[in-house]
Structure 1
Amino acid sequence: MSAPAPNAAPAAAADTESSPERSARLTGQRVGGVFTVLYILAIIGVWIALLTPASVTLSLRIADLDPEGKTSSLALVAGVGAIFAMVANPVFGHFSDRCTSRWGRRRPFVVIGTLVGGASLFVIGTAPSIPVVLVGWCLTQIAMNAAMAALIAILPDRVPEERRGTVSGLMGMTNQVATVSGTFLIATTGTQGLGMFIVPAAIGLVLVVVFALYLKEVPRGKAEVPPRTWLDIPRSLWINPLRHRDFAWAFVSRFLVWTGKALLLTYKTYFLMDHLGYSSDRAASILSWAMLVLAIGVVLGSNVSGWLSDRLQRRKVFIAVASVLFGIGMGVIAVSSTLTGFIAGIAVAGLGQGVYVGVDYALVVSVLPDSETEAAKGMGLFNIANALPQSVAPAIAPLFLAIGGGSNYAVLYISAAGFALLGAIAVMFIKGAR
């Protein structure tokens, strides 16, 4: 993975170049089909390594170690891990922005982060107690989010504006593809032993290394980056919302829409059991199909919206339409008293979610503060808008459910629709993007 020497260029020309243009000139590598495929596969690889334990195997491991207190132990491990994830993404994104390694700014964090994350999953798989699992999961979240922060920053670093919608659309489906892939992997590895942790981590590492070997980066000289201080860490967690209003509105929009999504996903099982009257076994069977419907909607919506937004060179309208679609899906679920209505709402919500994730990365890149020098930090902070709703939604949901005497799922999902519609309104305040 040796880096090519930079080519000379007039300073005046360099001053007018975008980051993708400069990278293409210095490395001789442009974003084409092979680059895009390997890039998307690398993102899927990191998600497989992280989401497979997050959604399935971590809970199984905790149940083995603490069968009586598994619910509270899982809440502790997952909750503390989520905090580390939110902090690690922008902090390591900032370190990646300032990296002067001979391997480039992004490759060391992508490869080492995935490798350390895999080793941390090994710790979980062999842990003798819940405290060791907690340490292992926190290390996994730190390492994998360091890798993801550097990977996501490659979008503003390398992808030209006219292709960002298409690539953003592909990025938008990676989470769902990884989740489904992880489910099939567990069916192959089984739910006992190290395999359910190591196999997803190994697949992620292979996909990441293949992309890292293909990626060309030019090292930055130490004179090109500001001196490092301990204040860099708190600074990496802050972008002034008053100075950078467009970025702030993009963050608020995603936070609101993702809060609505979290309300749906967190309480979908209880909705089927308490509101529609299904047994736990039947609800689990229904949800497997419902999540497949959701995934199809996400994949379809993200790819179509990303491609079309490039053709039209517009992003905001797709975000607004997506938020409205998601809100409609939540509204359908709120008034539903049948399984058909629930599945129909899931389908519409999945399509709306897909349209949103197909464009929102491309949108935020266009309003990213200091994108030439601090892209990973900015994208890392933006990703907090994904993670924070996972903590906020369970905290506020009981307030909506309690209205009218309790178990008021209609109010819960109408509220979720309201969050999504507010997200559509928020994006309209962005001035620096079309």
Structure 2
Amino acid sequence: MRERSGGSRLQSPRYLVLYALAAAGGSAAYAPLLTLFLPVYATDVWGGEGIVVLSYAAFVGAIAASLGNIAFGWASDVTGTRRPWIVAGLILSSVLLTLLFRIESVPLFLAAIAAWQVALNMMLGPLFAWAGDCVPDEQKGTLGGLLAVAPATGALTGVLLTVPDLASPQMRLILNAGLVAVMVLPVVVFGRPRAMPQLMASSAEDETRQPIVAGDPAYPADRAPVARMWMVRLLIQIAEAALFAFLLLWFRTLDASVTDNRVAQLFTVVLFTCVPLALIVGRWSDSTRRPRLPLTITAAGAAIGLAMLTFAQDITAGIAGYVVFAIMAGVFLSLHASQTLRVLPRPATRGRDLGIFNLTNTVPSLIMPWLVLALIPMFGFQALFALLACFAALACILLATMRKF
């Protein structure tokens, strides 16, 4: 956490770029496995029962990831350092990743998935908290723009590793682990961030503080911004998770000729489109010191895209609505990830608190299936899209009416 003495008001560009590369490595560590490798492996090994195994794996993995992120974020708070946890999580998760496809027992496979998720979050929890220690508010918009590279890199890694005849399923996992190490290790070894004492100002005192006292700056009385930032991300993430899981099925109700490859290409194009847009918007929010406005506008844009999906009657309108939603939501989530660091109240528990924020990434996997089962069989996809549009609109309202941020 306290990597260097001295300091500057702004963090070095080298650290920001290497940190963004490491965040991209974090996405590459799980996106190809969860979206491409696991479904194929489950089908090959368990046949018709593969979808059941995948459902259990998703449920168990989401719980393990949630607990692991909070636990190791908190552990890095307590120990006062992030980098050893990042390296240990990288090594352990890489080893477990390469062993997954050697297991054919369902109980052991689920246990291995849980262990891998815990190890992965040993790396991810401290990694994301490290940005809070090192990146000042004046650069959080820029950081958010750089973080847009992460999901695009995860998608691109999956494309590269699934090139026909490139490697066997087992070798793909080994190559995947190697690529992740190449992306994560540079910031650990060469990042050398400038110290930001203003970001750690209250951490030395937190251990001895009493419960909240009125006027104590380390314990702000108004926690509303924290709760609102948590809720708005959850609302957008639920919508994104639902579309990611069921977009192909819906497209095929509009046009039976739509292929999975066409949808995969659409996902990739949208993710890469988000990168320059998020960078431009993030830099603008830094220069104008208006961090909330881009979040409010992109949440509104996501709601508009979902409304377009609600009324779409053909594949062209459906794709247009999805593109609007996905670009707006992608920029929103990237900027939100960095701007969240503004509202966390205690530097000494930053890792733990970010772990709690990370629940907005895992809880949607537990909520979304129930929404789908409740709405689609009786009312169709349009009812689901209408509800998700309401979620995004509510996120926009919550942001627009925030008094402090």
Fold-level match, TM-score > 0.5? yes
Q: Secondary structure at the match of 2:344?
A: coil
The answer to which of 154-163 and 170-179 deviates more is: 170-179
1:190 offset after TM fit, Å?
4.8
Residue 296 in structure 1 maps to residue 272 in structure 2: yes
1:51 aligns with 2:16: no
- Quote how far apart the aligned CAs of 1:85 are: 0.5
Structure 1: stretches of 5+ with no match in the other structure: 1-18, 228-239
Counterparts of 1:244-323 in structure 2 under 5 Å?
244-273=223-252, 275-279=253-257, 282-323=258-299
Alignment partner, residue 67 of structure 1:
47
Distance 1:252 1:305, change over 3 A: same
Residue deviations 1:173-221 (CA, integer Å, cap 9, x gap): 3123212222222226757331121111111122222221124489x9x
Which structure features the higher share of helix residues? 2
Task: Name whichever of 416-425 and 296-305 sits farther off.
Answer: 296-305
Partner of residue 384 from structure 1, selected from 348, 351, 359: 359
CA–CA separation in structure 2 for the residues paired with 1:382 and 1:267: 25
**Take 1:54 and 1:43, find their aligned partners in 2: how far apart are those partners?**
17
Partner residue in 2 for 1:110: 86
Give yes or no for contact 1:120–1:136 (8 Å, CA) kept in 2: yes
Tell me which residue corresponds to 1:331.
307
The Cα offsets for residues 267-313 of structure 1, whole Å up to 9 and x where unpaired, read as 1011012x21414xx33133123213321342233222211111111
CA contact (8 A) 1:85 1:145 kept: yes
For 1:189 and 1:133, the matched residues in 2 are separated by 26
Q: Structure 2 CA distance, aligned partners of 1:298 and 1:143?
A: 29
Taking only the aligned residue pairs, the percentage that are identical comes to 23
1:58-113 per-residue CA deviation (whole Å, 9 max, x = no partner) reads: 2222222211311101111121011101111111101011115xxxx111111110
Change (3 A) 1:343 1:277: closer
Aligned pairs (5 A) from 1:23-422: 25-26=5-6, 31-100=11-80, 105-187=81-163, 190=166, 192-216=168-192, 226=207, 244-273=223-252, 275-279=253-257, 282-370=258-346, 372-404=347-379, 408-422=380-394
- 1:22-43 Cα distance to aligned partner (Å, 9 max, x none): 7664578972222112111111
Of 130-139 and 72-81, more deviation after overlay is shown by: 130-139
Q: Determine the C-alpha separation between the residues in 2 that align with 1:224 and 1:61.
A: 50
Rounded to whole Å, the distance in 2 between the matches of 1:373 and 1:196 is 39
Deviations 1:133-160 (A, max 9, x none): 2122111111111211111112210012
Q: Distance in 1 between matches of 2:304 and 2:389?
A: 7
Checking the alignment, whether the CA contact within 8 Å between 2:103 and 2:109 is kept in structure 1 is yes
Q: Which residue identity is paired with 2:394?
A: L
Q: CA deviation at 1:119?
A: 0.8
Whether the 8 Å CA contact 1:366–1:432 is kept in 2: the answer is: no
Q: CA RMSD in A?
A: 2.7
Partner secondary structure for residue 194 of structure 1: helix
Q: Structure 1 residue 243: deviation in Å?
A: 5.8
Distance 1:267 1:427, change over 3 A: same
The alpha-carbon deviation at position 335 of structure 1 amounts to 1.3
- Aligned length, in residue pairs: 388
| Inter-partner Cα distance in structure 1 for 2:92 and 2:395 | 36
